[in-house]
Amino acid sequence: MITLVCGTQNSGKSDKAEALLTAAEAEHKYYLATMKVFDEAGEERVKKHRRKREGKGFITIEIPYHVDRALDEIPEPENSALLLECVSNLAGNEMYDDPERALHAGASESEIEALAAAVLEDIKTLVSGSGEVIAVANIFPEKDDSYDDETKIYVRLNNLLTNKIRQMADRVVDV
């Protein structure tokens, strides 16, 4: 089963997703953290999320890409609920940092679609190997005059991936 929690930045989607994870009927509850820290603001964001998770009994796995590999670290994934926080960070990590999958400036639509398909396969593997997955994602406007070429590629990748997850989700929660 997969639940997709969507919203804008700072909409409360993470809080909603954590509440769903807390309520999940699973022996083990994992928080799959995808954010890579690049600066002080990122470090503060991670610290804030860690403080919010304290005492909730979640086991955190830091996994910036190839999220299916998290199953290798989970002793009983079929008896576990997983919170994938978040698809938007994952898309950026895969696009910029994963040496196996990174896109370049000027990537074609077919290259963007291929990367989205590869990441989606990782997520499908995660879903099929575990009891429940709760995925958090942003949707960004496709057209914005402030976007540079790389941002346009990222937004396209993120939205394509999020919409594909929306189509396969058992439940969608828009925050």
pLDDT in tens, 61-115: 999 989 999 999 999 999 999 999 999 999 999 998 777 788 887 899 999 999 9
126 and 119 Cβ atoms separated by less than 8 Å: no
Q: What is the arithmetic mean of pLDDT over 133-151? A: 93
109-129 and 87-96 are packed helices; what angle lies between their axes, rounded to 10 degrees? Answer: 130
Whether the predicted pLDDT of 46 surpasses 80? no
Domain 2-174 superfamily per CATH: P-loop containing nucleotide triphosphate hydrolases (3.40.50.300)
Give the whole-angstrom CA distance, residue 129 versus residue 140. 29
Give the whole-angstrom CA distance, residue 52 versus residue 38. 21
